[in-house]
Chains A and B, each alone.
Chain A
């Protein structure tokens, strides 16, 4: 059976546009609000990446760090993260959900139990930032057995040899990190160069859905639309921070922002 993630990419391809993937942190700035945000943006987003926060993140820029700290300050636990996904998935038009975070959280929770809880909650995919290939082989296999897509990451530093091996052991979606950066950095590589690298990866295996993330904003997203999918995260986390500071409702603000992003790639 085709995964829900694959079906979404197919739908988008039919519409001749990339899939829009959003990233927000579960529990930012409360359990209730983050669930409302997911519900509200899923009218325009195709896949929802949901961060499970950790307090020693080694690959995140300030926006996602702050988002995580806000959630942790409210006492968010992994069980709440699963609860949020479960609640969200009760909606009739729920989009595929990908949980994203650091291995320490999975390790502490126990790999098996973590995967089981993901499955129960309706999680469709997992990104574990600091569990690279080949160390992730066994974990990725367990995910697959449980019909969860384990998403491999590729970066500009990944050699072609290594890329081939990673792609060969990947599932139906791969994530390309656009540049040498933590999340949310300023795009220091031209979109043209990013697409050039993107096409090199696609050449290795056309059938894999390849998304681009890191540094994508409303200003740069249009230039990258010749791809299978685009991830916007830090921009959304920053918008939550901004609206909290101005005492505005982040749900409304994010809805508007994701609507605009979608427009730019449609």
Chain B
């Protein structure tokens, strides 16, 4: 074999492998998954606990070490953006309001965009449906802000983007997740920013 040819083959293998690893790493880091259900800014992966999940979801899950909800337990929605599509920013004030799909309980949790809880002086990381005083319409309102607010205040990290997780425990919507419309889920409305 001519040395020049050997060098070319080695280059093809090395660059190819490098590209392959880089794209895999990027896909896992950015949470690429194909069987997601979106309703407005809320995204769910209802088949994450099942054998039918896609290979990207399975790989990301193995890396994250999470134990996802089975549909019999409930359904989990994550939002990383507000109603307008802008990323949730800890320096801004958001009003989370409106309906939740029928469920025995729900909880709303604030984390960073990677899903880690965020330290705050109030030691408030989320709300449960029981804690929230419902309006007569059956809706609720939570204010997400970096500084204390009256009412149901969920502290946000002023220096970072964040994510909100809505967990519906024991919900008849689990099997019909794909048909949920944005107006069945809480609205994420941005108010002023610091």
- Chain A complexes with chain B: no
Binding site for A on B (CB under 8 A): none
Binding site for B on A (CB under 8 A): none
